[in-house]
Structure 1
């Protein structure tokens, strides 16, 4: 089955003279998809971008993390593991060559997952290693992705806070 995805990217950085001069335009744009909020973006702050806006690197690591999370929740549910909270703080290592070309070298997902007492933590950890086989985004990247999950056993208060 094939899926088709659409997005509109609109450059918003024309400061009056277009690209007539290298420093005369902003590296900003909007991402819009009908029926969804517009996302204002800029390039990486290391390259002069606006640090208050999302950049392509932010969006890529966030997309991969979100895809991993959704597949993890699915696999956990199917395996009888009840997850009551999930938070990830992914990090990625990139390089920029003298030519200006860049790429990601690796990414590490660091999910903190709260599960119910009695959960088989070995099984819960093993599920992470199955996700790269099915996650749309993970299967599309050409750099290694490592997983460093941390598991927290829910207390009655934790379970109540997440319902």
Structure 2
């Protein structure tokens, strides 16, 4: 069994605590021992600071990173030489009554550069194996799809 730990520290007390709804900021830090602090805020649509990461950004980024790491692993095993990988994932969400929201889907959109001579069929097929093993994708309750684009490294 693997465990993960984090420390969330609310930084939004403006002097009144939560005396009323507008009295406090929706900001916090993520502090993991031995790693840089991540300053976070609520989604800007809910009054958050748009310059800071929010929970939705973090979840979407975690999905993308997990997929990327497994892709690179399987590519190395298959002899597909990846020279560059970038993703611009998009998550769709809905808001319900009272502001309760949820992700309804996510699409990963990786652009993957492979070395000349790579088996493009194998490079594409790798994606089909990842959701069976990606910790994050296996942990969410909404569909995660992917629309990869491949480029040959010049």
Determine if the TM-score, normalized by the shorter chain, exceeds 0.5. Answer: yes
Tell me what 2:104 maps to. 105
Question: Which aligned pairs between 1:72-111 and structure 2 lie closer than 5 A?
Answer: 72-111=71-110
Deviations 1:114-133 (A, max 9, x none): 00111111111111111000
RMSD: 0.6
Tell me what 2:146 maps to. 147
Tell me what 2:45 maps to. 46
Instruction: Tell me by how many angstroms 1:48 deviates.
Output: 0.5
Tell me what 2:132 maps to. 133
Question: Could you tell me the TM-score, scaled by structure 2's length?
Answer: 0.99
Residue 62 of structure 1 aligns to a residue in which SS? helix
Deviations 1:98-127 (A, max 9, x none): 221110000000000000111111111111
- CA–CA separation in structure 2 for the residues paired with 1:105 and 1:122: 30
Residue 127 of structure 1 aligns to a residue in which SS? helix
Question: Could you tell me the TM-score, scaled by structure 1's length?
Answer: 0.93
Residue 19 of structure 1 aligns to a residue in which SS? coil
Unaligned segments of structure 2, at least 5 residues = none
Q: How many residues align?
A: 154
After TM superposition, what 4+ stretches of structure 1 lie above 6 angstroms from structure 2? none
Which structure has greater helix proportion?
2
